[in-house]
Structure 1
């Protein structure tokens, strides 16, 4: 059955699957296990890095004690490989008793006591991607009720081991089931990533009505090539993706890998700047115990977070290309803007870029704009529409600018 026909059938049946949880009016922020820790369940030889309540508690402690929570990083998310290999006698998912001996409700209580929120993972299919029990169409209600009874705050719903028809039924049905529990649970859908991320297979109007955020594209790896591939896919398809995003419904280019092994300092700035321009969720996957001070300073940059969390909720876009330079722009509330100039080149010297506000179509405030370099934490001065803006962008790096009208009144 084609997806369009299926959606029409569901409409005619009178089913109303509208997400109504009032959550994440700005992009969610937090931390997740997957990219850094994958499916490491070897707690005997690697107890400090295996998927376990110990790891979650350690990261929750770090988030509460090292400034992350107070900046908005509040979701602590368990990805795949947390459960037993079989459901219990009542057909419910249960955590592995050796790695989660206290149970999920106790872990949620611990996380909540830190002023944080707990996220969990399941899969719309027979198995999770890691081979653990999935959520099938007949267990959706049970699993939603189980997660709510544990007082979970977020569900990442993956899509391995199912087909397009099952996904078209299951993702909306889980949204309905989560709503029915009465507990506000952020609903993160991987559905579009399994259908190519684009219409006609992906209906972003429907997604925005049933999901709080959704993965559009491939998993991120710990490499610059992976980050750049995601950026280029978003640029190529921005006319489809940009209108889909807004308060309570976000495109998700995947986790932040700043602080891991694969990105240089310049490349880390580039990922963060483009993710902020895209109004993307800022979900880290790193070791907060061992993160460098440079990486921590980037991730905790207050102006970066201010831009990402802008309440207008409008996703930015690529506005021009000049050789290896890309210029990305995001409109913010009260006439403010963010501008990222990305250098994709790897060929030696920093690359010069010259422009002005008139060329960038930032002219609404006739008195001019105050410009700030986000990562250098530097005020650059007041610029009118014709004042030259001259910068140099390091290879695989970015210059990230914040523009505020001179007439701005907080």
Structure 2
């Protein structure tokens, strides 16, 4: 980092309160559906009308969220990603949806999504072009684009960072926060800023990010593969001392979309991603075809106890507390009512592994009596103290996830 950029970062930190995002949104991690991982920039609607980026796709996904039980569980955002625009702004400089693929316009799409009890998200890029070459949001058009999105009834903005410089990002992301405030419409704000500047201090000022963004992408884009999931988990774990304290109500680290229901993960790996994203207090944005998703994957994504844990009001991000030579890792997330989420994660590829441990070995303190409910099987394990040895059997590339809570009597149990 050169001296000029250090000076700029320092100045931005001083003026951060002036850029504060004051929308009161996303006090728990946001949940919904996002187009990118499953549909990318598929725009050939003549050959594949049911699987291209057009208004019909987003209306269909809104229908599924509203009719198949997703909305009631908290999956309320229907988010457009790149490739929705025409290749040029109009004569007044306003962004224009592609007239063939979005003939009704974004305002009409937002109205439809709202009629289904849902919220609409849209995509922009803090640069000269979006990642796929559509019109970007420059410093000169920040206010115009914010007002345009608000006039369309948009509820969330994902602002990417392709084709931008460090200086443009350092000025543009806070400026968009201010511009969104000025519209008077509450619009959730997802920033890709840290992912373009290495994800770590001193290049990334997380104190400033927590003040101006509701969530932010820290690391690489997820790909539809187990290796991609592992690379993200590794990066978040290796840098948890920096990342974990910055997450909380209204401002979240975002490890990217859920792959569950696509092609790259096995059943065990799908369960593992859901559990790991939940223990990391991550936003839960599915990116799959909800018209064709299997019941098995629906069960993972609609697990009510999992969602309650993800949406815990304390909003504390979990941490990896143990990594063994047998390729077992343990993550713990503190929850309200003195409860915790514990994820036992196996990186083994041979056979189920019998892992013996105790709550004390996982940094539980005190003399409480605990129960644990297995989040996936719903089995309850009773009579646990911090010194009680127990064994969990973890499938290869899989997880066992427990909701652990202290008990005195049944009336004190969470979620009842």
Q: What is the TM-score with the length of structure 2 in the denominator?
A: 0.96
Which of 163, 166, 170 in structure 1 is aligned with 2:168? 166
Structure-to-structure mapping, 1:6-405, within 5 angstroms: 6-10=8-12, 16-323=18-325, 324-346=327-349, 348-364=350-366, 366-405=367-406
Alpha-carbon separation, structure 1, partners of 2:84 and 2:397: 36
Alpha-carbon separation, structure 2, partners of 1:306 and 1:12: 37
The alpha-carbon deviation at position 349 of structure 1 amounts to 1.4
| Other structure's SS at 2:361 match | coil
CA contact (8 A) 1:3 1:168 kept: no
Paired residue total: 408
Where in structure 2 are there 5+ consecutive unaligned residues?
A: none
Alpha-carbon separation, structure 2, partners of 1:197 and 1:12: 21
The alpha-carbon deviation at position 15 of structure 1 amounts to 7.8
CA contact (8 A) 2:322 2:362 kept: no
| 1:14–1:186 distance in 2 versus 1, CA, 3 Å | closer
| Other structure's SS at 1:376 match | coil
The alpha-carbon deviation at position 83 of structure 1 amounts to 0.4
Deviations 1:57-98 (A, max 9, x none): 000000000000000000000000000000001100010011
Deviations 1:159-194 (A, max 9, x none): 000110110000000000000001000000000000
CA contact (8 A) 1:371 1:382 kept: no
CA contact (8 A) 2:190 2:216 kept: yes
The alpha-carbon deviation at position 362 of structure 1 amounts to 2.1
Alpha-carbon separation, structure 2, partners of 1:8 and 1:282: 33
Q: What is the TM-score with the length of structure 1 in the denominator?
A: 0.97
| 1:386–1:11 distance in 2 versus 1, CA, 3 Å | closer
| Other structure's SS at 2:163 match | coil
Deviations 1:189-240 (A, max 9, x none): 0000000100010000000000000000000000000000000000100000
The alpha-carbon deviation at position 363 of structure 1 amounts to 3.4
Alpha-carbon separation, structure 1, partners of 2:4 and 2:324: 41
Where in structure 1 are there 5+ consecutive unaligned residues?
A: none
Deviations 1:320-355 (A, max 9, x none): 111211010000011000000111111x21111111
Alpha-carbon separation, structure 1, partners of 2:383 and 2:241: 32
